[in-house]
Chain A
Amino acid sequence: MASQLTKQEALEALRNKDYERFPIHNPDIECASRERIRAIQLEKLIQQVKWIYERVVWYREKMDAAGVTPGDIRTLEDVRKLPFTDKGALRETFPYGLFAVPLDEVVELHASSGTTGKPIVVGYNRSDMDMWADCIMRMVQMAGVVPSDRAQMAFGYGMFTGGFGLHYGLQRLGCMMIPAGSGNTERHIAMIEDYGTTVLVATPSYALHVCEVGEKLGYDWERSPLRVGLFGGEPCPPGLKAEIESRMHIICTDNYGLTEVMGPGVSGECLASRDMQHIAEDHFLWEVVDPETGEPVPEGQEGELVLTPLGKQAIPVLRYRTHDLTRVITEPCACGRTTARMQKVRSRSDDMLIIRGTNVFPSQVEDVLATIEGVTPHYRIVVENETGLDTMTVYVELKPEAMSDSFAEMDAFRQAIADKLKGVLLVGVQVRLVEPGGIQRTTGKAKHVEDKRR
């Protein structure tokens, strides 16, 4: 049985792969047999489709047009008869067109950080807030968070689901919430020390910034009360997470979620399979499809993740196309959980860049940089075609120790990075070196790519 671990004990338990020492929030579900999980999913799916068909005109029209009625849903595979939902549907029905409950019943409104056009607005009633908190409680306990923890929020609050989502879930678990909000890094560090903060909720890039500022101030992270980092808001490359863990002497996990289906907590990283995240399968039915055809791919193969929230009432969506590429496996995990695991999303079907006809994912750049000594994990990609030909420039941050007094050596280093990138991306790129700290750290979604092509 898991109990509160000290920082040293937790780090040691992780090193020794002593996973039983970390808590499981709801073993009844999280460790259930596959048959039981599928039975729960089917029962909830049938209810969900009925709920939506009866309450949301937009979906009823779509289903009628597709010739499918709630009665046609008799197995989990029958979900494929239902229409997909994409971001466009939420924009088209802005703000309340997909709501399935009277607005009087809605207790919270959130919106996505929306990169183009109108924001995506979602609402939650009390039941939805309970479901969300349940997901967060599972996810944070995978990292070893317990009710006696003190959690400091470094996400911005506001319309973004990350801030309040984590806040409510951690508070429901019993943690003392320290709602510091984003920014003011020195204050964050002072609060960690003064209030005995044990859990930091942040984007990974901001956590690294907190780490660096602390180091500059002479703060001893090893002796700090901080034990856990809960990351989100942006993809966390494994190299970055490992670096933060070793420099701050903490355990870090990240989770997956999106506003359109709920927010953070759809799936969470467990300490036994750190590249994978357990899906809260009783709350979300997952499918993995070919992004081109929408047809299911064989289990375990990569494709686009499609999610149908189960039991979500205020704004239920059917078969939401996430555009996130992943693969899902259902073998039991060494952590003790049996819920399906999705590979961490490294790339989205829609953040793929096409450079002179070659498909390039920013995650490939991340992977290459992680193998190069002398550069940090931070980067920025700029794509242009001023001369009619696409050019991709990767801005790379130099580490202080990589400095040379010789231009020839610096240029050879720069060229070696460009060559390595070309070897993986199969397209020539320009590399520009920038000063340490020269690439902006963010407290929201990190913007790695700037596509200036017209």
Chain B
Amino acid sequence: MSVRQMSVFLESKPGHMKRVLDAFESARVSVRGYSASDTGDYGIVRFIVDDPDRAAAVLSDMGTAWKATDVLCVALEDKPGELARVMGIVSDVGINVLYSYSLISTFIALSVKDLDEAECLLSKQPVVLVDQAALARPVRELRTKGAE
């Protein structure tokens, strides 16, 4: 169970990220989380969206340099200490997180080297992994579900 992430090469200049966001918007691709980091001249902007296939078509049409990778997505409970608890489990089972960022609601993305192994290790732990479909739902519905 993982979600798809689109990493886009963008020069660190005004308007370059907006071009991508505008293209997503006109194709009705909804961004569910992102992380933008830089090396000075350029950045890799990582997007997690509701519909990765549509996003892929948008990015290819634009002629951008992009790459799809899969990452784990964990649903946290909204209470103090939860992030520490989950990261503690991740470290206890020996998974090294390459990078991580938060998404809508209380979801976090974790990039790991061996996705299948990490998934297997976490499946026996009190950690809620979510898939692409869960991520596409509006936040309102997610909250309702969390309260059940």
A-to-B contact residues, CB < 8 Å: 212, 216, 398-405, 407, 410-411, 432-438
Contact = CB atoms under 8 A, between A and B. Distances in A.
A149 B46 CA distance: 50
5 contacts: A216-B61, A400-B63, A401-B65, A403-B9, A436-B65
A289 to B, nearest CB: 43
Given A400-B66, A405-B46, 20 more contacts: A216-B61, A398-B9, A399-B65, A403-B65, A403-B67, A405-B5, A405-B67, A405-B69, A405-B111, A410-B42, A411-B39, A432-B41, A435-B11, A435-B42, A435-B64, A435-B65, A436-B63, A436-B64, A436-B65, A437-B63
A399 B11 CA distance: 14
Nearest to B39: A407
A402 B7 CA distance: 12
Contacts of B41: 432-433
Nearest to A399: B65
B44 interface: yes
B54 interface: no
Interface residues of B, number: 22
B26 interface: no
Nearest to B68: A405
B16 interface: yes
B7 A400 contact: no
B144 interface: no
B63 A407 contact: no
B65 A398 contact: yes
A434 B63 contact: no
Nearest to A437: B63
A9 B44 CA distance: 47
A435 B39 CA distance: 14
Contact of A405 (B7, B10, B61): B7
Contacts of A402: 65
A212 B41 CA distance: 25
- Report, nearest first, the 8 A-B pairs whose CB atoms are least far apart: A403-B65, A405-B7, A403-B67, A400-B65, A405-B69, A432-B41, A398-B65, A436-B63
B69 A400 contact: no
Given A398-B9, A434-B11, A438-B11, A216 B63 contact: yes
A407 B37 CA distance: 9
A434 B7 contact: no
B68 to A, nearest CB: 8
A400 B5 CA distance: 16
B11 A404 contact: no
A407 B8 CA distance: 12
Contacts of A437: 63
Given A400-B65, A402-B65, A403-B66, A435 B44 contact: no
Contacts of B8: 403
